[in-house]
Amino acid sequence: MCLLLREARQRVLHCRRALCYAQICLLLVLTGQIASGQISPPKVKFPAGATPAPSITPPASSLPAAPAFPATPPSGTPPPALPAPPKASGFDPYADPTLPTSPYQPPAGMPPPVITDPAAVGQKPLFSEATFGQWPRFLQQIRFRQNYLNRGGTTGLGWMTTDLSGSFLFPISFMPKNAPLLITPGFALDLIDGPGGQFPPAPSAQMPPKLYSGYLDFGWSPQLTHGLSADLGFRPGIYSDFNTLTNKSWRWQGRAFGVWQTNDAQQWRAGIVYIDRLTIKLLPAGGLVWNPGGSDGRMRFDILFPNPKFAYRLNSFRNTDLWWYLAGEYGGGTWSQKFRPAAWPGYPPLQGGRSGRVEYNDIRIISGLEWTGSYGLKGFMEAAWVWNRQLRYDPAYVMYNPPDTFMVRLGLTY
């Protein structure tokens, strides 16, 4: 039985082999006839009256042939290499770009700022409220300051000031791209504690209990040439007790500086400031801003008149820097007010009900701390000794010298 099955299996294999050989031979014969033209494709016969569609021949291409490039590049000088990206000291490529850097170090890849902001270190500037080394956004900064001067006795003069302002960036088409216009509206409330005009040695000296200041500051800092720029500003405002509003309530202040940045460590400034007070209208201003260690240095000297300053960085942790500073400041201002009647022997009387102006001046030596936090938040707190205090009145020009006192001031900037 096994022999019969083996013999049947062999016959089946022989049949399969023979069938494969026959198929191969048939394919070879058909291929040869097609190649020799013995077999032609069938022709299509159209019905009577029908016209076959004309054959379409593709037009020759009108595009020129692609040029042949040589196998080897032509001899000559190689093209110049692309410049490397700017490197800034202390730059971290993985840091959050929205977080601030050191208050005296510009953002990575940007040149040093062409102006300095005394408010950044807790010092209230004469006029400048804006900085130019920041990200180009519409709202640049919001600032809040609180100032307190101690009265120092019954014959003294106390003063408390609350100041709120904000800086907005306006790119203008006819101005250079690197010099936008900064507009800073601001408002300040002054609460006065004495003198009341009821005691010697200043019976005619009087101040209203409240004074108000509203202003609009315009700042522009164009880059003239490499290393040479300008710092220009104009600030109109109304300064009054709001019991009287006349042309004397307006104050027109301004500044004009030429700025020469010699290197990362030195900046020279020269110009004038117009403060529009009763006794002093115009002041020369300027000096040297010196960073001994450059943008990463720990010290900064602002040898400037009338607001000098020395700052020392105490500590740096991630995006927070802590600075200590010692500064000088020429403080004060001018307001319009409505005088009350007062008449004392030996003193020129002030005509009650008449409008006039009052001027306050002092000199301050300040010591404080300033820090920068996350997302552009900065703050400061400082203490000062205030001396050479003066009150002057218009039109009678009665002068009163309050005693020396101390001052405390703090603020936040975002």
Per the model's pLDDT, the better-predicted residue between 5 and 310 turns out to be 310
Give the domain range for residue 214: 118-413
For residue 92, tell me if it sits in a domain: no
- Give me the mean pLDDT over the 323-346 stretch: 80
Question: What's the pLDDT score for residue 103?
Answer: 39
pLDDT exceeds 90 at position 312? yes
Question: What's the pLDDT score for residue 329?
Answer: 95
12-47 pLDDT tens trace: 777 777 777 777 877 776 666 666 655 555 555 555
For residue 313, tell me if it sits in a domain: yes
Question: What's the pLDDT score for residue 201?
Answer: 47
For residue 40, tell me if it sits in a domain: no
What is the number of structural domains in the chain?
A: 1
pLDDT exceeds 70 at position 228? yes
For residue 392, tell me if it sits in a domain: yes
Q: Which of 148-152, 340-344, 405-409 has the highest mean pLDDT?
A: 405-409
CB atoms within 10 A of CB 72: 6
For residue 37, tell me if it sits in a domain: no
For residue 17, tell me if it sits in a domain: no
Strand partners, 358: 335, 393
Per the model's pLDDT, the better-predicted residue between 342 and 170 turns out to be 170
Q: What is the CATH number of the domain that holds 145?
A: 2.40.160.40
For residue 396, tell me if it sits in a domain: yes
For residue 6, tell me if it sits in a domain: no
196-213 pLDDT tens trace: 544 444 545 678 889 999
